[in-house]
Amino acid sequence: MKCHVCGGNMEPQVTDMPFKLSTRTIAILKEFPVFQCGHCGEHAIEDLIMEGGPIVAEDQPSP
């Protein structure tokens, strides 16, 4: 897979990824499978992973 930003090679990685849920809430997904560009560091997520359903925040303290 080629990077859509710089054209470098995307390699499979497992990393922690932050996702903005609202203006005041960010969820961090631990050990999330992604592709990362070895040249510029851009991340890409496989369509199959994203089709798994919405991210649900459970048991989160109120701000």
Tell me if 25 is assigned to some domain: yes
Q: Which domain holds residue 46?
A: 10-50
What is the structure's pLDDT at 26?
93
Does 20 map to a domain? yes
For 26-56, give the DSSP string: EEEEEEEEEEEETTT--EE--HHHHTT----
Residue 16 inside a domain? The answer is yes
Task: List the pLDDT tens digit at each of the 63 positions of the chain.
Answer: 899 999 999 999 999 989 898 999 999 989 989 999 999 999 998 866 666 655 555 555 555
Beta carbons of 40 and 3 less than 8 angstroms apart: yes
The number of domains in the chain is 1
Structural domain includes residue 34: yes
Please check whether residue 27 lies inside any domain of the structure.
yes
1 belongs to a structural domain: no
Q: Per the domain annotation, does 15 fall within a domain?
A: yes
- Asked if 35 and 43 touch (Cβ cutoff 8 Å), the reply is yes
